[in-house]
Amino acid sequence: MPNSEDFFFFSHISNFRRLYAKALSTRLEPYQVRPGYIDILNRLWKRDNITQKQLHAQLAIEQATLSNSLKRMERDGLIHRKRDPKDRRLSHIVLTEHAISLEPTIQTAIEELQSVINVGLTINDRRYFNRILKQMTSHLESDIEDPCLVLLDEVGDE
């Protein structure tokens, strides 16, 4: 049986993620931007006119998820695809002027939400939480790459 504190910790993390996505979605909705677009947009704001393969290499999402997101982003007028003149099999993902103009607005919405989340937390609280979360994430990444079964024998006081 898992430790109840561990169970509630992961329950809290799951609830936090859900509430964060909902709050971010509410802030982004007027601009027809979904929370799932943010990582993609951030990469493309730094450098667009890249192939889907190049973009995928920068993101920690499945290829199918990226493909579906790009289709929705194209439908929503945030990107368009441009055929590579040297290799017609390739197409490049290019931000629309509309998407480029949204960058400061989207960044402000994210910063505003971050301010809401950080109310009452010191800089040390945030740094400690980020450090712990990075460590836990690293442990999960390692486990996914090389899963192992850990067996523990419990020795009771007799």
158: pLDDT strictly greater than 60: no
Q: What is the pTM of this model?
A: 0.79
Name the residue with tokens 């499945």.
62
- In tens, the pLDDT along 130-144 reads 999 999 989 988 888
Q: How far apart are CA 141 and CA 33, in angstroms?
A: 29
- In tens, the pLDDT along 58-76 reads 998 999 999 999 999 999 9
Position 39 scores a pLDDT of 95
Q: What sections of 95-122 are H helices per DSSP?
A: 97-117
User: Domains plus CATH for the chain?
Assistant: 4-117 (1.10.10.10)
Q: Which of 88, 89, 79, 87 is nearest to 43 (CA)?
A: 79
A 10 A CB-CB count for 65 gives 12
Position 9 scores a pLDDT of 82
Length of the chain: 158
7: pLDDT strictly greater than 80: no
Q: How far apart are CA 137 and CA 141, in angstroms?
A: 6
Cα 123 versus chain centre, distance: 23
- In tens, the pLDDT along 25-47 reads 999 999 999 999 999 999 999 99
Which helix (H) or strand (E) element contains residue 143? helix 123-145
